[in-house]
Amino acid sequence: MNSHRYLLLLGTATDEEGRLRQARDGLKRHGRILARSGVVHGPSVVEGDATRYANQALLLSSELPREAFADWLKSLERHLGRRPGQATCVIDIDLVGECDAGGAMAWQNDAKLDAPLFRDLVAKVLRH
């Protein structure tokens, strides 16, 4: 079976690292974490949003093809308490890229990598 290597960004504005830990544990059901950045605590990357977040990037190997994996990520977010229109971001798990077997980016979601913080977190897991 073909294994895929996905780059993910995790974020939460709730209980900081506890929710990220729950997300990592959930991700292990359909993948294996190959590398992870440290957790960064700080303000939102959205101008005018005073919310503070905990963010982390992961490199994960999974047998699921990208579309099925992306759909499964949304169901994991719901399982962890994310609801449409929610004022507080309980958990956000974004699929931001896929690497080839050599570690080079084969696909990336540029819109999710606009913020320097997110590019830096992804760069850290790619250097593992």
pLDDT in tens, 25-52: 999 999 999 999 999 999 988 888 888 9
With beta carbons less than 8 A apart as the criterion, state whether 5 and 60 touch.
yes
Torsion of CA 57, 47, 43, 107, to 10 degrees: 0
Domain that holds residue 87: 4-126
| pLDDT for position 45 | 87
Nearest one of 39, 12, 27 to 95, comparing CA atoms: 27
Least confident of 83-87, 91-95, 124-128: 83-87
The CATH number of whichever domain residue 117 belongs to comes to 3.30.70.560
Q: How many domains does the chain have?
A: 1
Identify the bridge partners of residue 99 per DSSP, sorted by sequence position: 5, 105
| 119 band by pLDDT with thresholds 50, 70 and 90 | very high
